[in-house]
Chains A and B, each alone.
Chain A
Amino acid sequence: MAVSNKPIIWLLFAAGGTFAAFVTPVLIFITGLALPSGLLPAEALAYDRVLAVAQTQIGKLVLFAVVFLPVWHAAHRLRITAHDFGIRADAFVKYICYGLAATATVISAIALFSI
């Protein structure tokens, strides 16, 4: 047997899972709960402030991670879930899941780059 090349996908999956578990809930809290409920002042995430963050290199990198890591996590999880549900067309499922994740990665990179 040969050593598998799965670490490439799996590391994205693991990093995405960690990110989705620790960072995403905080972002959901800030944008979905703290702002609408008035816990944070409405101008905290005003358009020009967020734009200023997205125009810095670090800001772009963080926003990119927020999008692309959980997307790869979701793609791999969906592929495995399909397998667990008895769908054996793994080659097809794989291309759909990873293809969507790759597309989302490229789109988010282009979108962030063009800000």
Chain B
Amino acid sequence: MSYSLATLWYERSRYLPGVLAVAFSSLLIALQCGLLLGLFSITSLPIDHTHADIWMGAPKVLSVDLGESIRESISARLENQPEVTRTEMFLQGFSYWAKPAGGRELCMIIGSNLGDNALGRVDALDPDLRSKLSEPGAVVIDDSDVGRLGMKGVGDTAEIAGPKGPRTVRVVGLTHGLKSLAGPYVFCSHGTAREHLTMLEGQTTYVLGKCRNPADAETVVKRLKEQYPDQSTFTSAEFSYRSRMHWLTKTKAGIALGYAAALGLLVGAVVTYQTLSAAVKGSLREYAVLRALGIPRWRMALAVMAQSFWVGVIGVGLSFPAVYALAFVAASMGLDVILPWQLLVMATGVTLTMALLSGLLALRTLRQVEPAMLLR
């Protein structure tokens, strides 16, 4: 065991504040980013829960929920690609849901094919629900939005605004886990969707495409982007990322996260610096003996840096179980925390860097090491 690690273990109560500060910083970064990823994954939900490989929409569309009307006929551009096996229309847009007890709620209408192999239907719609949705005016909403839309449950009716005036809809079933951000999702058939969206005949919001081999989607998208700059063409992964990033930047949530994380890091850095500095001060006389013996200062600096490294490693190591525990608690409250390995690597990297920087600051304390102080 290295001298630094031995010291850390033996004097663990002295180093505990630093370790906890590092753990707290790491926890803050991982959990905040995970929460944000979870929150904004909602915006790309229509892409992530459907089965298309390619999405075609209006030019410069920023996010899937901000799609505009395009001509259905441009689907021919997609159909003509040799890698594409089939295409499908996807209708989407905002409307107003009138609650039976009064009041309106902005909602997101999503009209798709309902067949077994449909590209645009969310996978939560089982055959029974799809069969019910084929009836005019039938809609499915998420169980998390029942109260928000003023419903009591399946069978309830409400009115949704449309170009020809409000039309009555009936809730025929509920999904689970398809929460919304701006307005509740209302899943329905193409026919029902057209009743509520301001859209001319022969128009759609997106054209979806399926490739024989999903790996070809990128090639097709690249080709279509070059050939048709008057439309947006994305692979589903690309569009999903674009939608999440749009909301992350538009809402300034990323900046807010940055501030909060920076604050957490600052607190962590100060506490870690103080801890390491106090540890060096506590051993000034021992270091002074080594200096008298001619051991160079850089060798002691290396020991302090090793201590800061281990404080960082132990802190990060302690934080991850806590991150997963808190993510579990958040999930039980209906909050999604997404923790991809890249996020954990990033949190580890940032926090370890912070611990090492604190170590660098603590090196200033080593300047106080003076062998003459040992002489009486």
Answer yes or no: are A and B bound together in one complex.
no
A-contacting residues of B (Cβ < 8 Å)? Answer: none
